Chain A
Amino acid sequence: MAIAVTLLTLVILPFAAALAIALLHGAPRRVHSAIASAASAGGLAILAMLAGPVLGGATPSATWAWVPSLGLDLALMVDPLGWIFALLILGIGLLVVIFAHAYLHPGEDTGRFFASLMLFQGAMLGIVIAGNVLLLLVFWELTSLASFLLIGFWQHKPEARQGARMALAVTGGGGLALIGGLVLLGLVAGSFDLATILTRGEAVQASPLYPAILTLILIGCFTKSAQFPFHFWLPHAMAAPTPVSAYLHSATMVKAGVFLLARLWPVLAGTELYTITVTSVGLVTMLLGAGVALFRHDLKSILAYSTISQLGMLVMLLGFSLEAAAMAAVLHILNHAAFKAAMFMSAGIVEHETGTRDIRRLGGLAKAMPITALIATLAAAAMAGLPPLGGFISKELVLGEALAFATPDALWLIPALVTLGAGLSVGYSLRLAGHLFFGQPREAEPFARAHEPGVGLWASPALLTTLALLLGLVPMLLAAPLVGPATGAVTGRTPPELDLGLWHGVNLALILSVIAVAGGVLLLWQHKRLLAAWERAPLPDAKLIFDRVMRLADRWVRKAIVATHRPRLQTMLLASFGVTIALVIDGALAGGGTLAGDRPGIAASVPGIAAWALLVAATAAVVLDARHRFRALILISVIGLVVCLAFVQFSAPDLALTQIAVEAVSVLLLLLALNLLPKQPPALSSAPRKGRDALVAIAAGLAVGGIAWAMLTRDPGASIAAFHLANAKTGGGGTNVVNVILVDFRGFDTFGEIIVLGIAGLSIFALLDTTATGAAGARLRAWRTDLPLSPERHPMMLVAASRIILPLTLTVGIFLFLRGHNQPGGGFIAALVVAIAFLVQYLAAGFDWSDARKPFGEHRLIGWGILLALATGLGAMVLGAPFLTSWFDYFKLPLVGTFELASAMLFDAGVFLTVLGAVMLALAQLSHIGMRAARAAARDSGRRGA
């Protein structure tokens, strides 16, 4: 249990920090960065606790069932591979937080920044310690979303928005493919549990679905890790603030694809299809990235292409399907995270202190900022793979593995190309450090501005560079204990024996390494000439192509929508009604049999027939005379009253009470709205159109009436009502079965319904509250009443009567509420009655008078109502019963006698508050804007009169 809590804490910490930062949005930046760094440090402490067992070979894991029917468990597990990645995510995360604290300019929205950063950290952490592939997908999608927020952090910059959108489109699209791939994988492997899947490699590779699975998963990994041809989003993501780039593009986001490849290595790797695809994509990406990096001028763009290249190398290594190559990949992941994060931060420092990132304008900065120069030069040396840094060791291993991969089939092209790639890396690394820090300043202005940054900025890259150096000097001490077990976790075999070091004697790999360095120096020497040639060459612009594809997709989607979905409500409704009627008629004919069943009916009384006639006549009048809107409202309320009478007649007192209360409130609402709407607009529809609509309407009426008739003349099947009736008193403690169903048996439905009602109330508020401005505001101000007004705004008799009635009505409301559990009544009805009591005050005394005396805020009522209902439900869970289980008991009080207390009553009180709040909010808001308009009109006419 302890381990389960530990793992859960590990993954929840960043999310909790994100939430805390978001809630403390207004607090100063140090609060935000303190929360973020505390969460990262806490995560690191947990990792340190886990280090012993994990690196010793144990795999702490914990599983909670989440959606068992889908195979989705909340399963967490930390093996050495996940542990290393978690270390990078949290360690570099902590350093990035420290760096960002100093980097962001005053006035930046640090709350949003650190909250998004922590959200991203949590999502990343989730990917690497997920023990269920479906859970992994959830986190995977979350990283796409969080990175969208981070890349687009500077929302005012178009390139940030475009970069963020492009990253989301590419990685999100890849995520879709990945969903397909992992679901297929889980189905073929027979489980979505990661540990189980990893043991089913043979079954998966033998499956006919293997090529589809592999393709889909590779698309997911390649898009995320910016592999050719999906690499183009990464340079555009450089519009993000530099700390984000340092985090996302050194250790985390783009490594997620590499991680997944490594994670699924035992299942996917080893086949010819896998080896050829993954190796060649990686190789092409590596060469392409390194080549482009050589000719970029923006520091971050150079680093972006360098990242693409290095990721390509990692993918290629995993593609080799060799154990030793996997080991080299794990080692290089560590190295790359260290030096690349340091490089990004150094680029950020240079931009921060000189105001530019254009390498053509900089130079000789070592004089102005020696510490930064030292840090960045060492990091660049690691990137170039020069001794004695860690990069050298991993680069030599890469060359060695390329040779080992090539030897059996004499594929000499591969080591040659890898050497070329290494040479290009040496070239751009040396150019970066050399042109930036040494030689003469190319432009005076940035150089004059340049100065050494504060320790807050250089501390993080300094630490990372030190690590990059130590990884070269003492690899057996620092890297081997991690890399060995992690390689074992990748391959699923026993961890290999490692022999890491700078010097292994003269061998072929060393010779290739020397050739690469020499080539790199040569490239730098000839850089001017090469650059001129590069700029002359016609090269495709990935962004233009991407934009063109997006525009094309956009146009076709629009065409498809317009072709199938005309933006005319009347046409669409006619089609919907027509299709529905056709389906009903078709179904009825297919069923055969007679329309009427043989259930005996109840003979109707004369008053019943009269009420029916009234309803039919009123409906006909509404339809024929809908243009006279006030008259139509009166007729509608006649219909409502007949429906209410039907409920009374057919044993539904609760419904009758609800119906009559809703009727009153609805008519008031429509009246208030009509005050501002046209009262009697001219007719619009032509006679043929009316005729056509009438035919459709009659068909609809016959169809539904026919169904109702067929239903009413047949006996119902066995109803679950018997259960409700039998258990209402004993299980729910109430004799009004309808109310017990609402607050107990189907309380969860009711809970959902009051939420919907609350949302409706709030949406109405949102729609009306904003009418003060814009076109709506202008129209409201120009509004003139077009009705004859009573000379007396607030008739004395009405005001006096309404005030006397108020306490009486409130008493009735409370009475209905209290007896609701046993007799007709309850929260819904009571709320409507109380709402009417208040609304009468609005009607009689006017908005201002009533609103000023109103003892509650409607928004709060809705919120507290829902919270109260929720708390009642959760209370049952705390006591160990299912959500919303009700409790009741009987008590004796002197004088009052025996009475009952039920938790359902609290729930009903929540219903009461929410309904009251929503109804009041809708009506008060509507009368408020009407009042505002009337006042503006009065002011206007007063001015005109004067």
Chain B
Amino acid sequence: MTYEFLVASAIGVLVAGGTYLCLRARTFAVVLGLTLLSYAVNLFLFASGRLVIGRPPIWDGAIAPYADPLPQALVLTAIVITFGMTAFVVVLALRSFLETGSDHVDGDKVACDAQDGLMKDEPSRDGES
């Protein structure tokens, strides 16, 4: 069992999980799916510099091989941008839910709460309960 195999298979598992969740009908699942896909993409980009143990790219005068700093720099900003994207998507989902009363990705009317909606579609009209 090598680390290369572990990383590659972890990327595969994350992509599979992310893809499946992105295909779900509710916005929150899609957000989770995007998060998993982002982990996978960031790991993949990072792995393109290959796996190196114990040689962080902090220059110490030695010529010995360091871990490739370029993918690391790219992934560093990618992580932060991922946060920006996740935040934006989740807020978009929230806004869509607040506007339509549904958390379906296409805004279709669907039941939203298992315990018979504390948050009904049209709050003004169901005062009898």
Which of A199-207, A260-268, A466-474, A609-617 contacts its partner? A609-617
Cα separation A316 to B22 with both chains bound (whole Å) = 63
Contact B15 A704 (CB under 8 A): yes
Specify which chain B residues have a CB less than 8 angstroms from the CB of A713 in the assembled complex: 4
Chain B residue with the shortest CB-CB distance to A615: B10
Chain B residue with the shortest CB-CB distance to A784: B118
Contact A741 B73 (CB under 8 A): yes
A residues near B, CB below 8 A? 567-570, 573-574, 577, 599, 601-604, 608-609, 612, 615-616, 619-620, 622-623, 626, 629, 632, 636, 639-640, 642-643, 646-647, 649-655, 658-659, 662, 665-666, 669-670, 673-674, 676-682, 684-685, 693-694, 696-698, 700-709, 711-713, 715-716, 719-721, 724-725, 728-729, 735-738, 741-742, 746, 749-750, 753, 756-757, 760-761, 763-764, 767-768, 771, 774-776, 778-784, 786, 822-824, 828, 832, 915, 918-919, 922, 926
B77-102: CB near A (< 8 Å → 1, else 0) gives 10111111111101111110111110
Specify which chain A residues have a CB less than 8 angstroms from the CB of B128 in the assembled complex: none
Query: Given A570-B105, A629-B28, A708-B8, do A666 and B86 touch, yes or no (CB 8 Å)?
Result: yes
Can you identify 6 A-B contacts, CB atoms within 8 angstroms? A574-B23, A622-B21, A708-B8, A764-B91, A768-B94, A779-B98
B116 to chain A, nearest CB (A): 10
A507 to chain B, nearest CB (A): 77
Other contacts beyond A677-B97, A682-B114, A736-B58: 7, CB < 8 A: A616-B9, A666-B35, A669-B87, A702-B12, A705-B11, A712-B47, A729-B59
Contact B50 A696 (CB under 8 A): no
Chain B residue with the shortest CB-CB distance to A785: B118
The tally of CB-CB contacts under 8 A between chains A and B is: 350
Specify which chain B residues have a CB less than 8 angstroms from the CB of A756 in the assembled complex: 81, 84
Specify which chain A residues have a CB less than 8 angstroms from the CB of B2 in the assembled complex: 601-604
A826 to chain B, nearest CB (A): 8
Specify which chain A residues have a CB less than 8 angstroms from the CB of B46 in the assembled complex: 647, 650, 652, 655
Contact B73 A725 (CB under 8 A): no
Specify which chain A residues have a CB less than 8 angstroms from the CB of B111 in the assembled complex: 681-682
| 9 residue pairs, one from A and one from B, having the closest CB atoms | A705-B12, A701-B16, A601-B2, A782-B123, A697-B20, A760-B84, A776-B98, A709-B8, A651-B67
Specify which chain A residues have a CB less than 8 angstroms from the CB of B94 in the assembled complex: 673, 676-677, 767-768, 926
Contact B36 A670 (CB under 8 A): no
User: A-side binding surface: helix, strand, loop or mixed?
Assistant: helix
Cα separation A749 to B67 with both chains bound (whole Å) = 21
Cα separation A697 to B13 with both chains bound (whole Å) = 9
Cα separation A822 to B70 with both chains bound (whole Å) = 16
Chain A residue with the shortest CB-CB distance to B112: A678
Contact of A693 among B23, B77, B90 (CB under 8 A): B23
B26 to chain A, nearest CB (A): 6
Cα separation A4 to B78 with both chains bound (whole Å) = 44
Cα separation A774 to B10 with both chains bound (whole Å) = 45
B14 to chain A, nearest CB (A): 6
Contact A780 B98 (CB under 8 A): yes
Contact B13 A701 (CB under 8 A): yes
Contact B103 A677 (CB under 8 A): yes
Specify which chain A residues have a CB less than 8 angstroms from the CB of B55 in the assembled complex: 651
Specify which chain A residues have a CB less than 8 angstroms from the CB of B52 in the assembled complex: 650-651
Cα separation A616 to B36 with both chains bound (whole Å) = 12
Contact A651 B16 (CB under 8 A): no
Contact B68 A681 (CB under 8 A): no
* Residue in A636, A741, A771, A822 whose Cβ sees the most chain B Cβ within 10 Å: A741
Contact B82 A725 (CB under 8 A): no
Cα separation A786 to B124 with both chains bound (whole Å) = 18
Interface residues of B in 24-76 (CB under 8 A from A): 24-26, 28-32, 35-36, 39-40, 42-44, 46-60, 66-70, 72-73, 75-76
Specify which chain B residues have a CB less than 8 angstroms from the CB of A823 in the assembled complex: 58
Query: Given A577-B19, A786-B119, do A750 and B77 touch, yes or no (CB 8 Å)?
Result: yes
Query: Given A620-B17, A786-B119, do A651 and B56 touch, yes or no (CB 8 Å)?
Result: yes
Chain B residue with the shortest CB-CB distance to A726: B59
Contact of B17 among A623, A677, A783 (CB under 8 A): A623
Cα separation A780 to B97 with both chains bound (whole Å) = 10
Specify which chain B residues have a CB less than 8 angstroms from the CB of A784 in the assembled complex: 118-119
Contact B22 A573 (CB under 8 A): yes
Specify which chain B residues have a CB less than 8 angstroms from the CB of A729 in the assembled complex: 59
A1 to chain B, nearest CB (A): 42
A652 to chain B, nearest CB (A): 5
Chain A residue with the shortest CB-CB distance to B78: A753
Contact A651 B6 (CB under 8 A): no
Contact B58 A573 (CB under 8 A): no
Specify which chain A residues have a CB less than 8 angstroms from the CB of B8 in the assembled complex: 705-706, 708-709, 712
